[in-house]
Amino acid sequence: MNTSEERHALTASYFQRIDRHRYKPTPHASGAWDPAEQHFSPLAGLVVHAIDQYRAELPPSGLLLSRISFDILGRLALDECEIQVESIRPGRAIELLEAVVRIADRPVVRARAWLLTEVDTSTVAGGGDARMPLPYGLAGQSLASVWPGGHCASVDIPPVHAPEPGRATAWITTDLDLVAGEPSSPVASYVALVDTANGIAVRRPPTEWMFPNVDLTIHLHRRPEDRWAGLDTTVVFGPTGLGVTSSVLHDIHGPVGRAEQTLTVRPLPGR
């Protein structure tokens, strides 16, 4: 790869690898509340990428990711981060992994992932939500007019219906790689899009109110199989500063699971 190709690979991704456990975000990972911070969506995908790397160094287990929860512990500065993964509940049928993200030697994200054994249950599969219309032929939109930062400018979001305050049904995708020069699994690429849900169905303008999420929990009943994420999203603000963003998750084959985000809702200073 020549110098110009290397430069393009770095600028066409959200992160570049520094060493085995450390990554540097590119400007595409910035936003949404502050361009000097990382948007959590690509960082969540990077955590899954790190978990995939950890598992690839072990004998195959036949376990599938069923749930991953992220607790955001502090400010996500747009700076290099370190991700360490360990098994805290080993098992041949059920395993629990924990990943900790550190920036400047300080824990900023703690994630836990349940892995469950793969079994053929196709004869009893069912009970999912109605399938979203496919994204092909829908007019794409950008979040850059609502949100600052490189991440919101990097994604294409064709809505299925015109969004309303607190309600949106839309697809989301990106042409960028998660880590420069590295393939990422369909699950990691998919998770890297999910946290955007809180930004597609805003109840109030982010220039007047803050409603960042302090966590993200994703439950999967099927593995996502492509880089289109369908988000059927509802945002609720309560009367005492609490809020919830809830999404039914889809890929082009149908529903894959659900996501929940806890919001802290407050007016911007001076409002």
Domains of the chain plus CATH, in order, are 9-117+140-267 (2.40.160.210)
Read off the pTM.
0.94
Residue 248 makes CB contacts below 8 A (sequence gap 6+) with 129, 231, 232, 255, 258
Distance CA 183, CA 185 (A): 7
**Predicted local distance difference test score (pLDDT) of residue 118:** 96
- Print pLDDT tens along the chain (271 aa): 444 444 444 579 999 999 999 999 999 999 999 999 999 999 999 999 999 999 999 999 999 999 999 999 999 999 999 999 999 999 999 999 999 999 999 999 999 999 999 999 999 999 988 999 999 999 988 899 899 999 999 999 999 999 999 999 999 999 999 999 999 999 999 999 999 999 999 999 999 999 999 999 999 999 999 889 999 999 999 999 999 999 999 999 999 999 999 999 999 987 6
**Predicted local distance difference test score (pLDDT) of residue 266:** 96
Other Cβ atoms within 10 Å of 155 Cβ, number: 26
Cβ burial, residue 270 (10 Å; 0-12/13-18/19+): exposed
Distance CA 74, CA 270 (A): 24
pLDDT digits 0-9 by tens, 236-266? 999 999 999 999 999 999 999 999 999 999 9
- Encoding tokens for residue 123? 């004869």
Say if residues 189 and 203 touch (Cβ distance below 8 Å): no
**Predicted local distance difference test score (pLDDT) of residue 114:** 98
Say if residues 215 and 262 touch (Cβ distance below 8 Å): yes
Nearest to 225 by CA among 181, 257, 196, 259: 257
Name the H helices within the chain.
3-11, 40-56, 150-154, 186-194, 197-200
Distance CA 209, CA 231 (A): 23
* Cα three-residue angle 175-2-11, rounded to 5 degrees: 30
* Cα three-residue angle 223-225-231, rounded to 5 degrees: 80
CA 43 to chain CA centroid, Å, is 7
Radius of gyration of the chain (CA): 18
- Residue whose entry in the numeric block shows the structure tokens 């996501």: 259
Say if residues 156 and 143 touch (Cβ distance below 8 Å): no
The amino acid at 156: D
**Predicted local distance difference test score (pLDDT) of residue 9:** 46
